[in-house]
Amino acid sequence: MAIDLRSDTVTAPSQGMRQAIASATVGDDVYGDDPTVNSLEERVAALFGKEAGLFCPTGSLANQLLIRQLVNPGEELLTEERAHIVRAELGAGAVFSGITTRTWHSDRGLLNADVPLALAHENAGPYLVSTAAIAVENTHNFGGGTVQPINEIAKLSKEARARGIAMHLDGARIWNAHIATGTPLHEFGNHFDTISVCLSKGLGAPVGSIALGSKELIAKARIWRKRYGAGMRQVGLLAAAGHYALDNNIERLAEDHTRAKKIARALAAHDASLINPDTVDTNIVGLDLSQCGITAAEFAKRAGDSGVLISALGKTYARLVTHLDIDDAQCDQAISALIKSLR
- Binder among 11, 97, 101, 209 for ligand PLP (CB under 6 A): 209
User: Judged by CB under 6 A, which of 60, 97, 101, 183 binds ligand PLP?
Assistant: 60
Stretch that binds ligand PLP, among 59-67, 182-190, 294-302, 330-338 (CB under 6 A): 59-67
Total residues contacting ligand PLP by CB under 6 A comes to: 12
Scanning residues 153 to 192, which ones bind ligand PLP (CB under 6 A)?
Answer: 170, 172
Q: Could you say which of 24, 52, 59, 177 contacts ligand PLP (CB under 6 A)? A: 59
Q: How far is the CB of 9 from ligand PLP (least distance, A)?
A: 7
Q: Is 84 in the site for ligand PLP (CB under 6 A)?
A: yes
Residue 276 and residue 292 in contact, taking contact as beta carbons nearer than 8 Å = no
Residue in 14, 38, 58, 295 binding ligand PLP, rule: CB under 6 A: 58
Q: Least distance (Å) from ligand PLP to the CB of residue 245?
A: 14
Is the C-alpha dihedral spanning 134, 191, 203, 241 positive or negative?
negative
Amino acid at 228: Y
Give the contact letters, 131-150, x = binds to ligand PLP (CB under 6 A), - = no.
------x---x---------
Nearest of 173, 12, 168, 46 to residue 99 by alpha carbon: 168
Of the two residues 159 and 317, which places its CB atom closer to ligand PLP in the complex? 317
Q: H/E element holding 97?
A: helix 92-97
Strand 194-198 to 308-309 pairing: unpaired
- Asked if residue 284 binds ligand PLP (CB under 6 A), the reply is no
Residue 91, number of CB atoms within 10 A of its CB: 10
Q: Sort 216 into a burial class: Cβ within 10 Å, 0-12 / 13-18 / 19+.
A: exposed
User: What is the number of residues in the chain?
Assistant: 343
Shortest CA distance to 18 belongs to which of 253, 245, 256? 245
| Residues forming the site for ligand PLP (CB under 6 A) | 58-60, 63, 84, 137, 141, 170, 172, 198, 201, 209
